[in-house]
Amino acid sequence: MKIKVTVLRRDFNKDLADKYCKNPVTACSRFSDGQEFVLESMDQPAGFCYWAWQDVYPVIFTLSRGGDFGQWMKDPASNIACCSDGIRPVIFEIRRLD
pLDDT tens, position by position, 23-67: 999 999 999 999 999 999 999 999 999 999 999 999 999 999 999
Q: Alpha-carbon distance 43 to 29, whole Å?
A: 22
**Exposure on the CB side of residue 98, measured as CA atoms within 13 A:** 7
DSSP state of 30: S
Strand partners, 50: none
pLDDT of 93 > 90? The answer is yes
For residue 98, pLDDT over 90 is answered with no
Quote the pTM value. 0.94
Determine phi and psi for 14, rounding to 5 degrees: -60, -40
Contact 28, 85 (CB under 8 A): yes
At 97, the amino acid letter reads L
| Average confidence score pLDDT of the chain | 96
